[in-house]
Copies of this chain bind each other. A is one copy, B any other.
C-alpha cells in the first residue's frame, strides 16, 4: 500500500511540474528530460506513469474538465430549476474567463497539437461534443419542467458551446477588451431565458 501511495504521489508530481513548465515555456519547449529534472525523478519513473509528454498533456486537460464537471454537477444538484442552473454555471464560466489571461500560449500549443496528433484532436473535440449533449439534455429538461420555451435543444446547446469557445478565445487574446464574464451572462441570459 505504501508503494502504491508513493506511485500516486510521483504521478501527481509529474502532472504538477509539467503544468508549470508548459505554462512557463510552452508545450514544444518542454521536454520529458526537463520535467524529470524539475520533478527530481528518473526517465524510467516518468515512463512508468505516462507513455509520453502528450499523455501528460491530455491528462491535465481531462483533470481540468473533471473539476469543471464536478462544479456543474453540484450546481445541478442544488438548483431549483434549469434556468437557475444555467445562471450559476455562467458565474463559474465567468471566473474561468477572468482567470484566462496569460494562458493563450498553452491554448495555442494545444490547438497546434490537436491539428497534428489524432489523440490530442480526439481529446479536444470530445469535450465540445460532450458539453453539447450535456446542455441539450438540460434544455430538454427545462422544456419538460416548463421553465424554458420550446426550442431545438441540440441546436441551442450547440450555440451555447460555440459562444463559450468564442468567449474563451477572445478573453485569452484580449483580456482587457471587454468584461468577458458580463458578455457571457448577457449571452446565456438571452439564449436560455428567451429561447
Contact = CB atoms under 8 A, between A and B. Distances in A.
A164 B167 CA distance: 10
A108 B112 contact: yes
The interface residues of chain A, by DSSP majority, are classed as helix
Nearest to A171: B162
A52 interface: no
Interface residues of A, number: 41
Copies of this chain in the oligomer: 2
A48 interface: no
Closest 7 CB pairs of A and B: A166-B166, A165-B166, A159-B187, A162-B166, A194-B194, A155-B186, A158-B183
A37 interface: no
Contact of A183 (B115, B162, B178, B187): B162
Interface in A118-166: 121, 124-125, 128-129, 132, 151-152, 155-156, 158-159, 161-166
Q: Which of the listed residues A112, A132, A190 has the most CB atoms from chain B within 10 Å of its own CB?
A: A190
Contacts of A115: 104-105, 108
B190 A194 contact: yes
Nearest to A191: B190
Contact of A128 (B112, B174, B195): B174
Contacts of A162: 163, 166-167, 170, 183, 187
Contact of A125 (B111, B128, B173): B173
A95 B124 CA distance: 24
A183 B159 contact: yes
A25 B128 CA distance: 28
A92 interface: no
Contacts of A105: 115
Nearest to A124: B173
A44 interface: no
